[in-house]
Each structure stands twice: as C-alpha cells, then as structure tokens.
C-alpha cells in the first residue's frame, strides 16, 4: 500500500474567473492524460460542487488552496478536501509543526487518499520581502528548513520551482515523493510573469514528479493539442 494515490505527470491550472470558461477548456482535455489544478479564484467563484464534478468526470484534481490556519481549522479543511475526492492538497509549511501534523493526521494514508504537500516560500517573495516579515536568513535556507519541517511532519512532498526540485529530492527521500513544479514554459513561449522557468522535460529531469502548466495550455489556439503534446513528451520520463 502506498501513502497516497498515483499522481498525473501533468496538472493543467484552471486559472479562470468562472465555471463556463473553465468548462470550455476541460471539455477538450482527457482525464487519462492530465489532472486539473483548481486554485483560490475558481474555487471561490465555482465552489466545491464544481470540484466534485471534475472528480466525477475522472480527473485527478489538485485543490490548490494553500491552507494556513490554526491546526484544528486546517485539519477540518483537509477532511473536507478528502470528502471531495481530490488527489492533491497543499498547506503552508510556515503554519508550523502542529498545523502540519494536524493536516497529516486528517488525511488518511492509502492508495486512494490525496497526497499532502507543502508550500515553502511563495515564489513571488524575494529575500527583501522575507526580511520585512521577520525572516532574515537567506531564502534558500528558509525553503530548505520549511521543507525539512514538512518532511518531519510526514508530508508527501512540496510544490516548488523546478530549480529547487533537486534539493527537495534530497529531503523527501521516501518512495513516491511528490515534487510539483509550476513555472513551466515550452521552448520559445512567453514567460508571462514567471521568471525562473524550465521546459516540461527539463523539470522532470531536474526531479519534478508532476508539473503544473497554466497559460501555455489555456491561451494556446488549440489547448487540447498542447496538453496532449506535453503529456506525451514527459510520459515515460
Ligand atoms: O500560467 P502558469 O503556467 O504560469 O500558471 C502556473 C500556476 O501555478 C498558476 O496557477 C500559479 O498560481 C501556480 N503557482 C505558481 N508558482 C508557485 C505556486 C503556484 O506559478 N510557486
């Protein structure tokens, strides 16, 4: 028995303001080729019933709500996520050991359970931002310390930049660690607001176990073809 359900290699980020726009894309995607990431915007607009409908259509769903609250509240939120049948849940490692342990205890271990991963430091934060919130050690050290805390609390892995994936692999040494990397761009495609990017193949070679891709798929003239091409190029890596 593994600790969590199998993860798709590719999660497509449904960064849309409403259900209809998300549906236009989802209708073109194949649940055997990709999972779907639902973040705070779509969740707040479309709600848990929409998440459940995606699960019912056979898609693995990454519920990207980055829980960060007192341990009891986070545990209850994790239980609610399990009830929706999602495949991947995340919490902020900076919520501390008791919160991480409460999240871990709330999600049963087993091959039908969601994987539970941590956010260390948001990739939007630079060292100057950390200093303003009272963290004065170098950013990489803080990322590694939070990842170790998450590992100690029994979490399955982290969401991180592909540039951090190799370091994260040295911390999450268990079988089936879950190292999820956004900031993926196809060779030659627009960076948008991402700065440190890798291609899908590079990210997997660097240690990612799943990648998250949003705009390169959602804004393509033929999203289904791009999703299919990405899924194919990382399938057996
Ligand atoms: O459009 P793009 O491929 O850049 O989308 C990446 C997705 O991953 C977005 O939903 C973004 O919020 C999310 N994400 C990220 N960087 C992180 C964590 C999540 O880009 N560190």
Residue by residue, pLDDT tens for the chain (237 residues) are 689 999 999 999 999 999 999 999 999 999 999 999 999 999 999 999 999 999 999 999 999 999 999 999 999 999 999 999 999 999 999 999 999 999 999 999 999 999 999 999 998 889 999 999 999 999 999 999 999 999 999 999 999 999 999 999 999 999 899 999 999 999 988 898 888 899 999 999 999 999 999 999 999 999 999 999 999 999 876
Residues classed as catalytic: 66
Q: What's the burial of 111, exposed, middle or buried (CB within 10 Å: 0-12/13-18/19+)?
A: exposed
Q: What is the pLDDT of residue 15?
A: 94
CA triplet 146, 78, 113: central angle to 5 degrees? Answer: 95
Buried b (16+ CB within 10 A) or exposed e, 131-159: eeeebeeebeebbbbbbebbbebbbbbbb
Query: What is the pLDDT at residue 181?
Result: 97
Residue to probe by mutation, ligand 1, list 191, 212, 218, most atoms within 8 Å of CB:
212
Out of 11, 13, 159, mutate this one to test ligand 1's pocket (max ligand atoms within 8 Å of CB): namely: 13
- Our answer on whether the CB atom of 111 is closer than 6 Å to any ligand 1 atom is no
Give the whole-angstrom CA distance, residue 213 versus residue 185: 8
Q: What is the pLDDT of residue 188?
A: 87
Q: Which two tokens stand for residue 89?
A: 């849940």
Check pocket membership of 213 for ligand 1, CB cut-off 6 A: yes
The confidence score (pLDDT) of residue 236 equals 74
């Amino acid at each position: 028995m593994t600790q969590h359900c199998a993860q798709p290699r590719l999660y497509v980020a449904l960064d849309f303001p409403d259900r209809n726009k998300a549906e236009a894309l989802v209708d073109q995607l194949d649940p055997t080729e990709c999972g779907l990431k639902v973040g705070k915007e779509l969740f707040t607009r479309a709600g848990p019933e929409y998440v459940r409908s995606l699960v019912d259509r056979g898609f693995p769903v990454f519920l990207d709500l980055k829980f960060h609250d007192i341990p009891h509240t986070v545990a209850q939120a994790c239980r609610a996520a399990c009830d929706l049948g999602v495949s991947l849940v995340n919490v902020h490692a900076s919520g501390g050991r008791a919160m991480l342990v409460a999240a871990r205890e709330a999600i049963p271990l087993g091959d039908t359970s969601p994987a539970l991963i941590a956010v260390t430091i948001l990739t939007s934060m630079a060292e100057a931002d950390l200093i303003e919130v009272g963290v004065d050690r170098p950013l990489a050290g803080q990322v590694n310390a939070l990842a170790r805390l998450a590992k100690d609390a029994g979490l399955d892995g982290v969401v991180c930049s592909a540039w951090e994936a190799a370091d994260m692999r040295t911390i999450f040494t268990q079988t089936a660690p879950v190292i999820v990397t956004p900031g993926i761009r196809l060779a030659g495609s627009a960076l948008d607001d991402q700065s440190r990017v890798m291609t899908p193949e590079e990210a997997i070679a660097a240690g990612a176990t799943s990648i998250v891709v949003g705009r390169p798929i959602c804004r393509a003239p033929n999203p289904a073809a791009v999703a299919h091409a990405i899924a194919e190029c990382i399938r057996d890596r």
